[in-house]
Structure 1
């Protein structure tokens, strides 16, 4: 099986570009989509995919950042999947595809059976660590990009605040929706506090509001 894993951080973002890039090279891949803001890997769809994939399956990512924005967790997941025989493909970072990594491990210097073998064994270990380091660096770069984005966001908010712009909702600001207006109309019509005939519990059942929201609306109506 081939799976294309696509992730965005916020629902308003478009995931189509990732899907398009993956489908262009792996048309028969099954797309797994996820909206997840944090860098951690305890994501529902990702965890389900981790349980589903078997040796010989392939997971394709548009970039390494879609797999993980956390270097330590990303590298650990990479090693786990590699050891399970699952192929990983990164369209924007092909140098860390598992096939590339596998070749680096297989291209060991052949031992000679002589006294210099201990030197050659050291060279092989060095080559293996070099391949691992390439993968670590890719995940570290992904984590740095996430941190840089957060830093730019914080700086932008601080700049806006210093320039006197309102950040977020004003304190005590009220949001009026069609649903709240309809609920308030029912409360005004049926609650005993507004010359109706129903008790608070009965009006709550009629509106389907939670206790806290119901009494909040009542306070607003009285005000």
Structure 2
């Protein structure tokens, strides 16, 4: 049986292209997931595929980095599939690892080089993201979402919170009335209590 495995790492990415390629290859069953490839631990569909494949099956993957982003995981997955009698085809790289074959030295070398490039690319992205975050912090830029409320709204919300016995408002009412998020309100009240001490 021809089986396809497709993965994207973020919600914004599109699985349709991978699915179309796998169906064009004649895959009868697809395992599809949206999860990061940095670790195999949270990848339930990958685990399901490995559990359900049988000797004589062929697994198709559009690109090596869709299966794994670490050379160690890549070798482990391919070896596990081959040991079960399952062949694996990487479509973009035009590489096939047949079960039971004595894989040629040149194929193994190419496989490891391509897997290393996928891991290297991932490491570069992480490094650039970290450097960008540090640079932004050094320039005094705030990372993350902008504050939901201005200082005046927060002050009003705190006043209403401190006078709840008289005004009869719930925390939800105060948040709706002022537009201040509950987490922001509690965090600011906690800060002020700390400062008072």
Larger Cα Rg: Structure 1 or Structure 2?
1
Q: Deviations over 1:34-89 (max 9, x none)?
A: 11124111211111111011111121111000000010111011111112111111
CA contact under 8 A between 1:4 and 1:61: conserved in structure 2?
Answer: yes
Give the structure 2 partner of residue 119 of structure 1.
none
Closer, same or farther: CA 50–166 of 1 in aligned 2, 3 Å? same
CA contact under 8 A between 2:56 and 2:87: conserved in structure 1?
Answer: yes
Closer, same or farther: CA 194–74 of 1 in aligned 2, 3 Å? farther
Give the structure 2 partner of residue 14 of structure 1.
14
Give the structure 2 partner of residue 147 of structure 1.
123
CA contact under 8 A between 2:3 and 2:59: conserved in structure 1?
Answer: yes
CA contact under 8 A between 1:69 and 1:146: conserved in structure 2?
Answer: yes
Give the structure 2 partner of residue 36 of structure 1.
35
Give the structure 1 partner of residue 156 of structure 2.
none
In the aligned structure 1, how far is the partner of 2:53 from the partner of 2:99?
20
Which consecutive aligned stretches of 4+ in structure 1 deviate over 6 angstroms post-superposition?
none
The secondary structure found in structure 2 opposite 1:169 is coil
Instruction: Give the alignment's TM-score, normalised by structure 2.
Output: 0.68
Segments of 5+ residues of structure 1 without an aligned counterpart are 107-127, 176-187, 201-214
In the aligned structure 2, how far is the partner of 1:30 from the partner of 1:193?
64
Give the structure 2 partner of residue 134 of structure 1.
110
The answer to which of 150-159 and 45-54 deviates more is: 150-159
In the aligned structure 1, how far is the partner of 2:107 from the partner of 2:100?
6
Give the structure 2 partner of residue 47 of structure 1.
47
Give the structure 2 partner of residue 185 of structure 1.
none
Give the structure 2 partner of residue 58 of structure 1.
58
CA RMSD of aligned residues (A): 3.6
Closer, same or farther: CA 17–155 of 1 in aligned 2, 3 Å? farther
- Correspondence 1:86 to 2:86: yes
In the aligned structure 2, how far is the partner of 1:167 from the partner of 1:134?
40
Q: Deviations over 1:194-222 (max 9, x none)?
A: 648xxx9xxxxxxxxxxxxxx869959x9
CA contact under 8 A between 1:101 and 1:131: conserved in structure 2?
Answer: no
CA contact under 8 A between 2:37 and 2:68: conserved in structure 1?
Answer: no
